[in-house]
Homo-oligomer: A and B are copies of this chain.
Amino acid sequence: MKKVITFGEVLLRLSTPEYLRFSQSSNFNADYGGSELNVATSLVQFGMQAEFVTRIPDNDIGLSVLSQIKKLDVGTDFIVKGGDRLAIYFLEKGAAMRGSKVVYDRAFSSFSTLKKGMINWEEVFEDAGWFHWSGITAGISQDTADVCLEAIEKANELGLTISTDFNYRQNLWNYGKSPGEIMEKMVALCDVVLAGDYASQQYFNIVPEGNSEADFHLSLCKKLSERFPKAKKIAITNRVDSSASQNTWSAILYDGKNILTSKTYEINYIVDRIGAGDSFMGALIYGLHHFDDQKTLEFAVAASCLKHTIYGDANLATVAEVEKLMNGDGSGRVVR
């Protein structure tokens, strides 16, 4: 099986311990994460090979993130060094009615000043079969959008499968271009799309219709499918937030004709929901390499369901654990 390449920014994640508010804490837990790294981590956890491509500063903080990625066993051969700083996000963990809070300090990061030509995509894509990127990368700066397009075009030229996660972030897209202008060309070359209602509207002014939730999702998928005919698979996750501690979680998968619907899970209590979408994406890519569509969907939902019980950005669940849950054992019994 050929390896998967993911491309994006890695951030230092500084979270307050327990449920402390920012102003209460004199201590941060220090971890690392980022949407596309999380996808790569999931794939490696499942036994596939993945390389994460990014740019980090050439200082001790950059070296720490590098050793952390190595610990996860994700490939680091094409990580380039340079620029000023590593992006940071601060996390205050919520509970019940109080949602978690994320404060970004990602401006001026090494990744945001990456330029075309700094990464030799030809070399990166050798032995690779799949390329994954997300809307976050496109929204960071004109530079990262340019490099991302450069990568997508090269991947397309070399015949790799290309996947994207819309991942719309309102605090990005500040560099003077409308999201649609940038994303249109990039999504047009993708084979697999993890979309979302709000993102579809923000990016492409696509507004789905329908009276039932099922109709609504079908409408969205059809409209996306018409707009982006290369996209053979379109997935949408569906979270119902009763509170920060309790959610239901499910997803759908559209193959151009039919919509498949997953089981719905009630998750209580939630340890850490950051990275749930990324863990879905990672499991989806794994599934599409190994299973039929229905099993792929169930695998991706179960995997991302487990992510909610795991601290940190990355999903550290194994294939065996995901399959156990898929097959109906969500009992949380002690494993001895």
CB under 8 Å from chain B, chain A span 234-260? 241-246
Q: Which residues of B contact A1 (CB under 8 A)?
A: none
Contact B105 A24 (CB under 8 A): no
Chain B residues with Cβ below 8 Å from A96 are: 267-271, 308-309, 330, 332
Per-position binary interface string of chain A over residues 303-328, scored 1 when its CB falls under 8 Å from any chain B CB and 0 otherwise: 00110111110001100010001000
Q: Which of A15-23, A184-192, A216-224, A225-233 contacts B (4 or more CB under 8 A)?
A: A15-23
Q: Are A107 and B85 in contact (CB under 8 A)?
A: yes
Per the bound structure, the CA–CA distance linking A267 and B24 in Å amounts to 22
| A67 in contact (CB, < 8 A) | yes
Q: Give residues of chain A (262-319) contacting chain B, Cβ–Cβ below 8 Å.
A: 265, 267-271, 273-274, 305-306, 308-312, 316-317
C-beta contact mask, A91-111 vs B, less than 8 Å → 1, else 0? Answer: 010111111111111011000
**A24 touching B316, Cβ below 8 Å:** yes
List B contacts of A265 (CB < 8 A): 97
Q: Which of A95-132 contact B (CB under 8 A)?
A: 95-105, 107-108
Q: Across the interface, do A243 and B271 meet the contact criterion of CB distance under 8 Å?
A: no
User: In the docked arrangement, what's the CA distance between A23 and B310, Å?
Assistant: 12
Q: Does B30 lie within 8 Å of A30, measured CB to CB?
A: no
In the complex, chain B residues whose CB is within 8 Å of the CB of A99: 331-335
- Smallest CB-CB separation from A92: which chain B residue? B60
Option from B19, B244, B331, B334 in Cβ contact (under 8 Å) with A274 = B334
A73 CB to closest chain B CB (Å) equals: 6
Q: How far is the CA of A169 from the CA of B335 in the complex (A)?
A: 11
A147 at the interface (CB under 8 A from B): no
A103–B60 CB distance below 8 A: yes
Question: Which of A63, A97, A312 counts the most chain B CB atoms within 10 A?
Answer: A97
Nearest CB in chain B: distance from A100 CB, A:
5
- Shortest beta-carbon distance, A322 to chain B, in Å? 10
Scan residues 18-41 of chain A and give those whose CB is less than 8 A from a CB of chain B. 18-31
Closest 4 CB pairs of A and B: A244-B332, A71-B71, A241-B331, A98-B309
24 contacts between A and B (CB under 8 A): A22-B64, A23-B63, A24-B316, A28-B28, A60-B101, A61-B103, A70-B73, A84-B105, A85-B107, A96-B268, A96-B271, A96-B332, A97-B265, A97-B305, A97-B330, A98-B309, A99-B332, A99-B335, A102-B335, A108-B108, A241-B333, A242-B332, A246-B268, A246-B269
